Amino acid sequence: MREQLLLNRLDDIGKNLAQTDGALLLLALGSVGIELERLDAYSDLDFFVIVKPGFKPRFIDQLDWLESVHPLGYSFQNTKDGHKILFEDGIYGEFAIFEEQEMTSIAYSAGRIVWQDALFTNPNLGTPRQKTDVARPETMDYALNEALTNLYVGLCRYARGEKLSGVKFVETSAVDNIISILHLVEQENDYFPDVFGNERRVEKRFPEFTKRMCNMMQGYENVPSSAIEILAYIEKIYPVNQKMSNEIKRLSAMCLQEKSD
C-alpha cells in the first residue's frame, strides 16, 4: 500500500540521516506525523530535519542524503530553508532544514520524531514553542461583511471583462470568509483542522455547508450565478444590509443579461 511506502520512505530517510554527519533529528509532520489517522494514498512527505550549527547549507545545497535513499526525479528550492521534491517512484514531499535554535521562532504543527541522534538532548522539538491555532472569530460581522464586499467588487471586475479577478473575489475570497465563521453556523466535526489552511478538510468538518459549495463555485463563465448563490447563503444566516444586497443582485442580473445577449 502507498501509505506504508510513505512511512517506510521516512524511516529510510531517518536511517540515512543517522549515517550523515551533521544531522540531529527527523520530524514528520501532517498526515505522516501525529495525524496518521488521515494518512491515505494521496498523502505526501512533509518533514523537518534538524541539523548541527553550520550544517544547514550542506543539507539544502546537497541532496545526496535523499538521493541515496531513492533517486529524485524532480526538486526545487522553494524557500530559503528547503525544497519540494518528487522521487522517481512518484512519492512527493516537502522538507525544511533548521538548526535547533531556529525552532523557537518557527510556527508549525506538532510532529512525530522519526529519528534522532542518541546524543541529542532536546527531545521536545515535536511540540512547537510558537503556539498556532485555527482562527475562530467570535462573531460573523467582519467575515460576512468582507464577503459581501468581495461579491460586489468581484462582480464589478467581471462586468468590465476582468473575469479572472472576478472569480478570485467571488469564488475564493468570499467563500474563504464564509468558511472562517462556519463554526458559528453549524456543528463542526472534529477532523484535523489545519491552522495554516482553514479550507483543508472542510468537506468532513462542515458537511452541511459543503452541499452548497458546488453552486457557489460554478467557474470562470458563471461568476454572477455563483455570487447569487453565495448571497442567498449569507442572507440565510445573517441580516444583510439591504442596499448592499440590492446592488449585488443588480450587478448579477446585469452580468447574466449581458451574457445571454
Helix or strand run (H / E) with residue 50 = strand 45-51
Cα–Cα distance for residue pair 108/126, rounded to 1 Å:
10
Mean pLDDT on 159-183 = 95
Mean pLDDT on 191-210 = 80
Give CA angle at 248 (245, 253), nearest 5°: 125
| Residue whose cell numbers read 500500500 | 1
Cα–Cα distance for residue pair 121/132, rounded to 1 Å:
25
Cα–Cα distance for residue pair 160/162, rounded to 1 Å:
6
Give pTM, 2 decimals. 0.75
C-beta of residue 106 within 8 angstroms of C-beta of residue 125: no
| Residue whose cell numbers read 459543503 | 210
pLDDT band (50, 70, 90) for residue 120: confident
Return the biggest CA–CA distance within the chain.
Answer: 74
Over the stretch 142-152, which tens digit does the pLDDT of each residue have?
Answer: 999 999 999 99
Instruction: Answer yes or no: is pLDDT of 117 > 60.
Output: yes
DSSP string of 224-260?
A: HHHHHHHHHHHHHHS---HHHHHHHHHHHHHHHHHHH
pLDDT band (50, 70, 90) for residue 51: very high
Give residue 129's pLDDT.
59
Over the stretch 5-33, which tens digit does the pLDDT of each residue have?
Answer: 999 999 999 999 999 999 999 999 999 99
CA distances from 73 to 59, 88, 92, 157, 176 (A): 18, 5, 10, 41, 35
As a dihedral over the C-alpha atoms of residue 217, residue 220, residue 224, residue 226, rounded to 10 degrees, the angle is 0
CA distances from 6 to 1, 9, 29 (A): 9, 5, 12
Give residue 102's pLDDT.
92
pLDDT band (50, 70, 90) for residue 184: very high
Strand partners, 76: 84
Alpha helices by DSSP H, listed for 44-179, are 56-61, 64-67, 141-159, 163-167, 175-179
| Residue whose cell numbers read 520512505 | 9
Instruction: Answer yes or no: is pLDDT of 130 > 60.
Output: no
